[in-house]
Structure 1
Amino acid sequence: MFKRIEQVLPGEILAADLMDPAGRLLFPKGATLSESAIEALGQRGVADVEVEDERVTLSAEQLRQAAEHARRFYAGHDLGVPPGPILLGLRTEAEAQRIERGLPPLLRDCRGPAGPVQLPRELPMFCLDSFDPPQLSAVAQDLNLALSEPDPSSKKIVEIITRSPGLTAKLLRLVNTPIYGFQRKVETVSRAVSIVGLREVGMLASSLLMVDQFGVIPKSVIEMRTFLEHSLGCALTCKALAESTGLAQPEQAFVAGLLHDIGRLYFFTSFPERSRYCIDSALKHKRPLMTEEALFFGIDHADMGERLLDGWRMPPGLSRTVGSHHNPARATDLPLAGIVHLADLLTHAMGLGCSGECGPPEARPEVMDLIPIQPEQMVDIAIRIETQLGLIMGAFQ
Structure 2
Amino acid sequence: MPKGTTLDGSHLKSLLAWNLPDVSVLEAAAPAGEAAPDTPEALVDEAAEQAVRERFCHFDPDSEVGRVLFPLALDREVRRRAAGVQREAAAEDDAATRAAVEVPPPLASPEALLRDEPKLVSPPEVYQRISEVLRDPTSTVEDAAASIRHDPSLAAKLLRLVNSSFYSRTMRAVGGRFPAKVDSLSRAVMVVGGRQLATLALGVSVLPLFQDIPPHWVNMRVFWEHSVGCAVAAQAIALARGQDDAETAFVAGLLHDIGRIVVFKQASHHMAAAMRRAAAERQPLYALERETLGFDHAELGGGLLRKWQFPAHLEKMVRYHHNLDEPLFLEGPAVIHLADCLATAMGWGGSGNRHVPPLHPAAWEELGLSAEDLAALVPGMEARLAETMHSFFPDRAGPP
Which TM-score tier does this pair reach, normalised by the shorter chain? 0.7 to 0.9
Code of the residue aligned with 1:138 in structure 2: it is: E
Q: What is the CA-CA distance between 1:207 and the residue it aligns to? A: 1.0
Code of the residue aligned with 1:170 in structure 2: it is: K
Q: Deviations over 1:272-328 (max 9, x none)?
A: 344333322322333222123223332211111111111111111111111111234
Matches within 5 A, 1:273-284: 273-284=269-280
Code of the residue aligned with 2:141 in structure 1: it is: S
Query: Do the aligned residues in 1 keep the contact of 2:284 with 2:353 (CA within 8 Å)?
Result: yes
Q: What is the CA-CA distance between 1:332 and the residue it aligns to? A: 5.2
Match status 1:395 vs 2:397: no
Aligned length: 349
State the match for 2:134 in structure 1: 147
State the match for 2:213 in structure 1: 217
Give the aligned CA root-mean-square deviation in angstroms. 3.2
CA distance in 2, matches of 1:326, 1:252: 18
Query: Do the aligned residues in 2 keep the contact of 1:81 with 1:365 (CA within 8 Å)?
Result: no
User: How has the CA–CA distance of structure 1 residues 152 and 385 changed in structure 2, closer, same or farther, with 3 Å as cutoff?
Assistant: same
Gapped regions of structure 1 (runs ≥ 5)? 1-11, 17-28, 32-56
State the match for 2:377 in structure 1: 381
Matches within 5 A, 1:239-278: 239-278=235-274
CA distance in 2, matches of 1:373, 1:121: 42
Match status 1:319 vs 2:315: yes
Query: Do the aligned residues in 2 keep the contact of 1:175 with 1:186 (CA within 8 Å)?
Result: yes
CA distance in 2, matches of 1:154, 1:279: 46
Q: What is the CA-CA distance between 1:247 and the residue it aligns to? A: 3.3
Query: Do the aligned residues in 2 keep the contact of 1:331 with 1:337 (CA within 8 Å)?
Result: no
Match status 1:94 vs 2:81: no
TM-score normalised to the size of structure 1? 0.77
CA distance in 2, matches of 1:106, 1:94: 15
Q: What is the CA-CA distance between 1:347 and the residue it aligns to? A: 0.8
Query: Do the aligned residues in 2 keep the contact of 1:63 with 1:96 (CA within 8 Å)?
Result: yes
Q: What is the CA-CA distance between 1:360 and the residue it aligns to? A: 1.3
Matches within 5 A, 1:156-235: 156-181=143-168, 182-235=178-231
Gapped regions of structure 2 (runs ≥ 5)? 1-9, 19-26, 28-39, 169-177, 394-400
Query: Do the aligned residues in 1 keep the contact of 2:232 with 2:253 (CA within 8 Å)?
Result: yes
Code of the residue aligned with 2:241 in structure 1: it is: T
TM-score normalised to the size of structure 2? 0.77
User: How has the CA–CA distance of structure 1 residues 137 and 76 changed in structure 2, closer, same or farther, with 3 Å as cutoff?
Assistant: closer
Secondary structure of the corresponding residue to residue 127 of structure 2: helix
User: How has the CA–CA distance of structure 1 residues 30 and 223 changed in structure 2, closer, same or farther, with 3 Å as cutoff?
Assistant: same
User: How has the CA–CA distance of structure 1 residues 119 and 163 changed in structure 2, closer, same or farther, with 3 Å as cutoff?
Assistant: same
**Deviates further, 316-325 or 179-188:** 179-188
2:347 to 351, 373, 376: 351
CA distance in 1, matches of 2:212, 2:179: 34
CA distance in 2, matches of 1:280, 1:234: 24
In percent, how many aligned pairs have the same letter? 31
State the match for 1:137 in structure 2: 124
Code of the residue aligned with 1:88 in structure 2: it is: F
CA distance in 2, matches of 1:151, 1:220: 47
CA distance in 2, matches of 1:300, 1:250: 26
Give the number of the structure with larger relative contact order, counting CA–CA contacts within 8 Å between residues 6 or more apart. Answer: 2
User: How has the CA–CA distance of structure 1 residues 128 and 340 changed in structure 2, closer, same or farther, with 3 Å as cutoff?
Assistant: closer
Q: Deviations over 1:82-129 (max 9, x none)?
A: 323233222222222233223468998752657654235779977545
Code of the residue aligned with 2:101 in structure 1: it is: L
